[in-house]
Amino acid sequence: MAHAIRSYQEQVAEFQQLLHPRLASSATSRVAQRSAFAELERQAGRLETHLYTTLGDILLAQERRHVATLLAWGTALLMLGSHLYRGAQARERAAVQLQASEARLEGILQSAMDAIIVVDQQRRIMLFNTAAEQIFGCSRMAMIGAPVDQLLPERYHDLLTVDAAQQSLANMHILMAQRSDGSEFPIEASLARIVVEDQPLLTLILRDVTARKRLEAQYLQAQKMETVGRLAGGVAHDFNNLLTVIGGYAELVRADLPANDPLDGDVAQIQAAADRAVRLTRQLLAFARKQMISPVIIDLNQLIQDLDPLLRRLLGADLKLMFHLDPELGTVQVDPGQIEQVIVNLAVNARDAMPAGGQLTVRTTFTQLEEPLIHGEFDLAAGEYVVLQVSDTGSGIPKALQAKVFEPFFTTKGPDKGTGLGLATCYGIVCQHNGAITLYSEPGLGTTVVIYLPQVLGAKARAAQPSKVPPLPRGNETVLLVEDDEHVRALALRILNQQGYVVLEAANGNEALRIFTAQTPRPIALLVSDVVMPELGGPALAEALRNLQPDLKWLFMSGYADHPLLQQESAVTQGHFLQKPFSPSSLARRVREVLDG
C-alpha cells in the first residue's frame, strides 16, 4: 500500500511539472489551452485509471494475504479448540472412570467378609470397612482417625507398626482381638506394608473365627467322647464275659446250697457284687452307645407319672418334686427302661446337689425346630421334638466344668460318692435314641438338663403289660453251642445240660461247621453262638448252617449292640439276641422262647 501511494505522488509531481510550462507557453492561445487541458484530462484519466487498477491489484493481493493469514489463524484456532475439547472430553471420561473405579473399589471393600483396616505411620486409622464395623461393634465415623491400638490387646501392639509389618504377619495368623466392651475374641490376621503417594501405610485384614473355633472345639469334644466311648465299650465287652461267669456260677452254687447253709450269705454277696459290676458295665455300654435297646412307642408323660413313687423315695422328704407335663405332648419311640434310667440318674444328681433341701422340677413340652439345632457336639435336624427338662435349685456347676460333665468318670462329688457315669450314661442313651442332651447351670442358682427326643407322628402308645415270672423252662432238643471264651462256654454248657438239653460245644465257627456236617444221632434244633469270634463269626456261621438246614433256629450272644447283624429287624424283633452278661435263668428262658417260636 505504501509503495502505491509513493508512485501516485511521483506521477502528480510529474504532472505539475508538465502543466506549468505548457500553461506559460500557450497563454496567448485559448484554443491551445483547451487542447492542452483536454489532453491533460485524458492523461489524468489514464493516470487515475492506472492508479485505481494498481491500487485494486495491490488491495486484492493484500486482501488475499490477509484472508490467508486469517484462514491460517482460524485453522490453528480451530485445531486448538478441537484439541482442547477432546482433552476436556478425555478428562471428563477419565473422571467418570475414576469415580466408577473408586465406587467399585469402595463396593469391594465394604462388601468384603473380612475386616479391612488401613493405618498410617502415626498408628491412626485411615480406612475402616463395614465388616470391621460389624466385627468390632464400632462405627466407621468414630474409628477414622482413632488409634488402632484399641482394636488389639496390649500384647500385640508391637505388631501394629508399618516397619514391623514387613517381617511379622504376612500370612494369616491366629490372634486375639478386642471389642469396644473389652471382650476378646479370636481372629485370623494378615498385616502388610504398602506405599501410597510416597507415604508408607499398614494394611490389616482380619477375620473373625469365633464360630469356626467353636465348631473346632465341638468337633474335638465329639471326637474325644467317641474315643472314650470306644474305650469304654471295649472294656465293658471284656468285663461282660467275666461277669457272666462270676454271676452265673454264683447263681448255680446258690441254687445247689441247702436251706440255711452258712455259705448262702457269702454267695449272695458275690452275686450282689456281680450285679453292681453288671450295672457299671451297662452304664459304660450306654455311654458308648453299644447297649442293646428295645424301642417301643410310649407316652412320655405316662412313663414319668409311673416313676413318681420311685423318684419321691429317691429324693426324700426334704426335697420337693414338681411335675409340669404338657397334656398335648406327642409320643416317642424309646426304650422305656433306658429313659427311666436317664430320669433316675438326673434325679440322683439333683438330690446330691441339694443337701440342704430344694426343688426338683420335671417338665415336658413340644417344640418344632424350623432349622437344624447345633449345640455342642449335637446337630439336630429340623423337625418335631418332645422336650424333657429336669431342673433343680441346687448348687449349680461352675462354667469351667460344664464342658466335662458328660465325660465318663468325671464327677464333682466327693470320694466314694459317685462313679462319674451318671450323666455319661444319660448322654449315651439319648444319643442312641437319635436325640440330644444339653445342660444349663449357674453356680448358686441350680441346673437344668434339657433332652430332645424325636416325636413319632400318628402313633399310639403301647400299654405296658404286667410281667409274669414263669418257672424255669426245660427241654430235650439238641443245641450247638459256639463260644470262644472257654469260661463262658463252660457255664452255658452246664446251664443247658441242667435244663435237659443235649449240647454239642465248639470253640469257633469252623469247628462248629465240622460238627454240624458230621453224622449226629439226632438233628440240631438250635444254634447258640457268640457274635464276634476268630476265624468264622456267628453271623457267617448261621448263614452257612441255614443253607444246610433251612429250619435251623439261632440265638446270638454278645456284649455289643452295634454289630451289623443286630441292626437287622428280624434278629432283634424275633428275640434272637441275648445281651451279655446274662444269668442262667435268662439263658434258659431265651433258649426255650426261640425253640418254641
Q: Which three cell numbers stand for residue 192?
A: 502388610
* Residue 573 banded pLDDT, cuts 50, 70, 90: very low
More confident residue, 377 or 144: 144
Q: How many CB atoms lie within 10 A of CB 271?
A: 19
The residue assigned the cell 488402632 is: 148
- Cα distances (Å, whole numbers) of residue 112 to 97, 99, 115: 22, 20, 7
Mean pLDDT over 428-455 rounds to 87
The residue assigned the cell 466311648 is: 229
Q: How many CB atoms lie within 10 A of CB 77?
A: 10
More confident residue, 129 or 418: 129
- What does the pLDDT read at residue 572? 39
Q: How many CB atoms lie within 10 A of CB 230?
A: 13
* Distance from C-alpha of 429 to C-alpha of 296, rounded to nearest angstrom: 15
- What does the pLDDT read at residue 387? 92
- pLDDT of 241 over the 50 cut: yes
More confident residue, 254 or 351: 351
- What does the pLDDT read at residue 431? 83
Burial class (CB in 10 A: 0-12, 13-18, 19+), 511: middle
- What does the pLDDT read at residue 24? 47
Give residue-wise pLDDT tens across range 481-523.
Answer: 999 888 889 889 988 998 999 999 999 989 998 888 886 677 8
The strand pairing partners of 238, in sequence order, are: none
Phi and psi at residue 42, to the nearest 5°: -65, -45
* Distance from C-alpha of 219 to C-alpha of 7, rounded to nearest angstrom: 116
CB 428 within 8 A of CB 307: no
- What does the pLDDT read at residue 56? 67
Which of 222-236, 266-280, 281-295, 508-522 holds the top average pLDDT?
508-522
In single-letter form, the type of residue at position 535 comes to E
Q: Which three cell numbers stand for residue 160?
A: 501394629
Mean pLDDT over 519-535 rounds to 83
Per DSSP, which regions of 153-224 are E strands? Answer: 173-178, 184-196, 199-208
In single-letter form, the type of residue at position 528 comes to V
CB 406 within 8 A of CB 427: yes
- pLDDT of 58 over the 80 cut: no
Mean pLDDT over 369-384 rounds to 75
* Distance from C-alpha of 285 to C-alpha of 300, rounded to nearest angstrom: 23
Predicted TM-score (pTM) of this structure: 0.47
CB 191 within 8 A of CB 168: yes
- pLDDT of 466 over the 50 cut: no
Residues of the chain above pLDDT 70, percent:
74
- What does the pLDDT read at residue 576? 79
* Residue 3 banded pLDDT, cuts 50, 70, 90: low
The chain-wide mean pLDDT, for the chain, equals 77
Give residue-wise pLDDT tens across range 82-136.
Answer: 777 777 777 777 777 777 776 777 777 777 788 888 888 888 888 888 888 888 8
Mean pLDDT over 592-597 rounds to 87
Q: Is 82 left (phi over 0), alpha (psi -120 to 50) or beta?
A: alpha
Q: Is the dihedral of CA 542, 545, 550, 554 positive or negative?
A: negative
- What does the pLDDT read at residue 235? 66
- What does the pLDDT read at residue 285? 62
More confident residue, 108 or 377: 108
- What does the pLDDT read at residue 164? 55
Q: How many CB atoms lie within 10 A of CB 283?
A: 25
- pLDDT of 574 over the 50 cut: no
Mean pLDDT over 16-35 rounds to 55
Give residue-wise pLDDT tens across range 65-76.
Answer: 777 777 777 777
- pLDDT of 563 over the 60 cut: no
Q: Which three cell numbers stand for residue 230?
A: 470306644
Mean pLDDT check: name the lowest of 261-275, 503-517, 528-542: 261-275
